[in-house]
Amino acid sequence: MDAVQQLAEALRASKYAVVLTGAGASTESGLPDFRSKAGLWQQVDPMKILSMTALRRTPVAFYQFYHQRLTHLRDAKPNPVHIGLAALQQAGYVKCLITQNIDGLHQAAGSTDVVEMHGSLRECVCLDCGRRYPSDLIDVEVNTEADIPHCPECRGVLKPSVVLFEEALPVDAIERAVAATEQSDLFVVIGSSLEVGPVNQLPALAVHGGADLAIINLDSTYMDRHARWLIREKAGAVVTQICQHLGL
């Protein structure tokens, strides 16, 4: 029995399986990851574009970048990773789905109760009053500071409802992710380099609690030596095979 079949059987036998997805889970939908040779960080300096400082000091460049990301997202569709994980969740094999992604493709595929650690591009939020709106309000051309989107209610500045550099992760997401991880007997990482903290500590927490660890990722991670199953294949094909093995 190969590693993929073993992992499928482990999912069948597990009482509380948790899945963590990263940018590599969405690359098959045409969305770039961050750290590969073709990733976003090769094109922009994240601290100069994706931080609260950037929002305040260079807002035009900030909103132009997010307008470009929203344009890409409009054409993106769930891929076999999202579709397969939704099926595994609905069948009860995956008890908790945690994601570092902000694209909303897990929900588009049918997953529910997704723990979004870094927020979501599907919404924007007012920096003054905290009201939330659909991302359509920031999906606009910004060529000067006069074009910066503002809250319809209080005229505060709108920002994507994502966690920027220099911002803390949402407390409720951290608490839910940690609680699920501590309960897990099987923890599966899909498409994450495990370089961004504090989310990258979840697999270590799972292993410390006695869970088996599986890592499905094309590149190495700091947790590879702790993984019972280390699968260096495209995530979509692996998740599809797991579903087929489980009759989904």
List the catalytic residues: 118
Contact 74, 90 (CB under 8 A): no
What is the end-to-end Cα distance of the chain in Å, rounded?
19
Strands ordered across the beta sheet of 229-231 = 115-116, 96-99, 17-21, 186-190, 212-216, 229-231
- Asked if 144 and 60 touch (Cβ cutoff 8 Å), the reply is yes
- Describe the strand order of the beta sheet including 132-134 as a list of residue ranges: 132-134, 119-126, 158-162
Is residue 97 within 8 A of residue 115, CB to CB? The reply is yes
